[in-house]
Amino acid sequence: MRREGQGRGRRLALAAAGLLAALATPFGAFLLADRFLPPDLPRLETVGRVVQDREGRVLSALPAPGGVWRLPVAAEDVPGHLVDLLIAAEDRRFRWHPGVDPIALGRATFQWIRAGRVVSGGSTLSMQAARLLEPRPRTLRSKAIEAFRAAQLEWRLGKPGVLRIWLTLAPMGGNLEGVRAGSLAWFGRPVERIGVAEAALLVAVPRRPEALRPDRHPAAALAARNAVLLRRAAPALPEAERRAALAEAAPAIRRAMPGLAPHLSREVARDAGPAPIRTTLDAGLQRGMEALVREALPGLPERASIAIVVADLRSREMRAVVGGEWLAEGRAGALDLTRTVRSPGSALKPLLYAMAFDRGLATPSTVMEDLPRHFGDWAPENFARGFSGHVTAASALRQSLNLPAVALMEALGPIRFASALKRLGAPPRLPPGAGAALPLALGGAGITLRELVGVTAALGDGGRAGSLRALQGPAGAGEEPVVRAQVAEAVAAILTQPFPGGGPAGIAWKTGTSWGGRDAWAVGFDARHVAGVWVGRPDGTAIPGATGRSHALPILARAFGILPAAARPLPAGAAGPRPVAAPAPLDALRLLFPPAGAVIEPGALTIRAAGGRRPLTFLVDGVPVAEGGARREAGWVPPGPGFYRVTVLDAAGTAASAPIRVRAND
């Protein structure tokens, strides 16, 4: 115990000796103080957000907490002439001093002793940065603390870090801080694009931010700016450039901060860091779509709202997103209605027909029945309550008839349709406890406008799956098509027709209306863009008489009028995906699964049929596997890999068959 106590004592003595040695040198004392008294940086990190479009143009600026316009900026973000003017005006020896300029401090001390008052402060940019981080009263004690903090900042952050602090926190009048906020408010442009005269004003205003506010004291602001331009130490400017800068007028008003795409801007900024956020939007298109919404709203019933999504057809990058009229009174303007789950009505029928064509259940020329019919206990009707009798599938889709669509859904299978929606990034939201069922054909599940636009994009892009995105970055891996390209083109050809009230040509479009007129939809695509419009009341109450054709489609036509013209060409032979021997009515016997040419994984298989006269008999290679009786399906377990022919036979002797292959186990 005694020996252990002696060892502890020696260690304490050595530690004390090391501390004294550190304190014995100024640098050692500084390092010790720096370790235990680190600079306070939260103000620098507590900033607003800047959201940019795909070209780097500012879409929207969001304030820091407390409503202060403090936006992040670094020295490399601003023009070189701004930094040059700042150093010339505030700290000529900034490039070489360690945070404190002994020459400037000596001069300031001498002037203070001789005049009995402060003539010049002797503050470096580093000391100003320290004061901006931790504001203090102007006292000698505060100056000493600022000098220590300035050396700390230089030691920890270097010259670029010191400039970042000044450029981000310098007061610009009112609740503006930093050159990025000042540039947007006083000049209406990003700081990256300001000229020499504008840079000089941003250097001048922080000296007396309230007395030099351009909107309140324009003459004083102009004089201060010119003093910076005429300063002896100012960077050498060509005389013509200096004269041009001096001749520029100073701003006399404070501009509103950019506020395009307010819903999306807040969405992408929620989890982002302080750096500017680059989106896929196009500022010009966004501005045009927002103006379209403002112009169209007065023609709608009270409390109705509009949402629009425009995306690039190939990349799925969104180019414009209007979630509603921002903060519009009575229209729930703060809600992003492009993300609200609503019933799509008939807007999903194009995908349903494409999937049916792809599986050989019909072609555009197949004759279908639009006549009263029960599907179990459900007897759907058309929107107009009437029936068209026998129509082609193409005409049924173009007229948005309900009975043919439900019949196709029965033949295709609601689960298969729901799975395709999920692959397309639009998983259907079903009522609690409900599964995928036939009403999916008529909008019996929830979807958002963004998701509907993504589904529609697949039909304009060769059947390729892919989700919409708003942030720049590498495109996702290519998805397997949900339907073949020729099938997608066939459906696109059916939907390409003139807008009823006039508009650009070469657009494929489809409308949808949910029950009671609660949701009016219109989606469409040309050769380059896909767009969707939703009209309704955010609270879900009905708009009597509202339909997709009457309320949403005219807005969609105007939206395509804003987009660059890119009419869809109609390729030869787009009438159908492939010819069939003869169109068959949907009550004819047909094999639903497996389809002809299918490659099946090993294991139990369910054979399904539709139509025909029961009882049905199921055969594989001519050998019965089951008599379905009243059922339209039968189970079969392949004995091994190879090629087989699956056949279904009805009571009238009609047969339907399909060749398939069972894959070998890996």
Nearest-angstrom CA–CA distance, 462 and 421 = 16
Q: Which of 123, 265, 343, 346 is catalytic?
A: 346
CA 177 remoteness from chain centre: 28
Nearest-angstrom CA–CA distance, 594 and 369 = 25
Who contacts 182 (Cβ-Cβ below 8 Å, separation ≥6)? 170, 172, 173, 176, 191, 202, 205
Q: Which of 60, 90, 123, 154 is catalytic?
A: 90
Asked if 33 and 148 count as a contact pair (C-beta separation under 8 A), the reply is: yes
Write out the two tokens for 469.
């995105």
Q: Is 290 a catalytic residue?
A: no
Say how many CA atoms lie within 13 Å of 141 toward its Cβ: 2
DSSP annotation string for 278-314 = EBS--HHHHHHHHHHHHHHGGGSPTT-EEEEEEEETT
Q: Is 317 a catalytic residue?
A: no
DSSP annotation string for 37-96 = S----HHHH---EEEE-TTS-EEEEEPBTTTBEE----GGGS-HHHHHHHHHHH-TTTTT
Identify residue 177 by its one-letter amino acid code: E
Write out the two tokens for 657.
């068959």
Helix and strand element counts for the chain (H, E): 20, 20
Write out the two tokens for 573.
């032979």
Can you name the residues that pair with 177 across neighbouring β-strands?
70, 171
Taking residue 82's Cβ as centre, other Cβ atoms within 10 Å add up to: 25
Can you name the residues that pair with 312 across neighbouring β-strands?
529
Who contacts 274 (Cβ-Cβ below 8 Å, separation ≥6)? 45, 47, 49, 72
Catalytic residues: 90, 346
